Amino acid sequence: MKKHIPNFITLLNLFCGSIAVIFAVNGNMKLTVLFAFLGIFFDFFDGLLARKLKVDGELGLQLDSLADIVTSGLVPGLVMFYLFNLSNSDASGFNSYLPYFGLLITIASAYRLAKFNISTNQTDSFIGLPTPANALLILSLPLIMEFQDNDIMNAIILNKWFLIAITIISSYLLNAKINLFALKFKNWSFKDNAARYMLILLSIIFLIIFQFAAIPLIILSYILISLLNK
């Protein structure tokens, strides 16, 4: 019975991601982000639970990636599609097709997850930005607009060239050959987990100061600390 518990948590990830897709299609970014965040929360705990119960296996790995392609792949692609539509004051000619460029994130996420499934050297670290981290980066953009309502930040986010750049950078980071540490604590030793503790501390400070605008800074810090830690 216990072997099915982590898979049930994974299915909750997929369920939340599917609901997020529905809200994204209808342009409700608040509920899109809420359910995507819930899905990512379940995604974090299914693997942790599987390891604790010692029931991790091939089925769980495949199911996890199938859930992630929805919650952390399709949803951020649709959010970027929505942002491109908002930024697109001239929806004629080539510009009418520009929002579809945001779905490059979905394609890059699927490719990254497929590579992860057949990889044998990503147990204690990741090669490329994990899809949930990338999803948080994209999901932070409508949150910044909705809750911080800063004219300068809004103008930047709704600039189509900024969105094109973020889409390309995001898709590249997903599949870049850079080693990033996993947030898995095997013990609580500071010596063994200095990079993890540093990231947690910086994340708290950034969230207090910058609120939702802290999320891109946290992702950047994660990458920089990983490179320095190497």
List, for residues 73-120, the tens digit of each pLDDT value. Answer: 999 999 999 999 999 766 666 678 899 999 999 999 999 999 998 887
Do residues 84 and 165 make contact, with C-beta atoms less than 8 angstroms apart?
no
Average per-residue pLDDT in the chain? Answer: 90
How many Å apart are CA 143 and CA 147, to the nearest integer? 6
How many Å apart are CA 57 and CA 97, to the nearest integer? 42
Confidence band for 123, pLDDT divided at 50, 70 and 90: low
User: Could you report the per-residue pLDDT of 35-66, keeping only the tens digit for each?
Assistant: 999 999 999 887 777 677 766 767 778 889 99
Residue 12 makes CB contacts below 8 A (sequence gap 6+) with 38, 39, 42
Q: In the predicted model, is pLDDT for residue 160 greater than 80?
A: yes
Q: In the predicted model, is pLDDT for residue 31 greater than 90?
A: yes
Residue 213 lies in a domain: no
Q: Which of 24-28, 85-89, 222-226 has the lowest mean pLDDT?
A: 85-89
Q: Tokens 């089925």 appear where?
A: 59
Above pLDDT 70, what percent of the chain? 91
Residue 205 lies in a domain: no
Runs of H (alpha helix) within the chain: 5-25, 29-53, 58-68, 75-87, 104-118, 131-143, 151-157, 160-175, 190-210, 214-229
Average pLDDT over residues 121-128: 80
We report the CATH number of the domain holding residue 101 as 1.20.120
Work out how many domains the chain is built from and give that number: 1
Residue 24 lies in a domain: yes
Residue 72 lies in a domain: yes
Residue 59 lies in a domain: yes
Q: How far is CA 43 from CA 14, 50, 108, in A?
A: 9, 11, 19
Residue 93 lies in a domain: yes
Residue 219 lies in a domain: no
Q: Tokens 């949803």 appear where?
A: 75
Q: 159: domain range?
A: 2-123+133-178
Residue 13 lies in a domain: yes
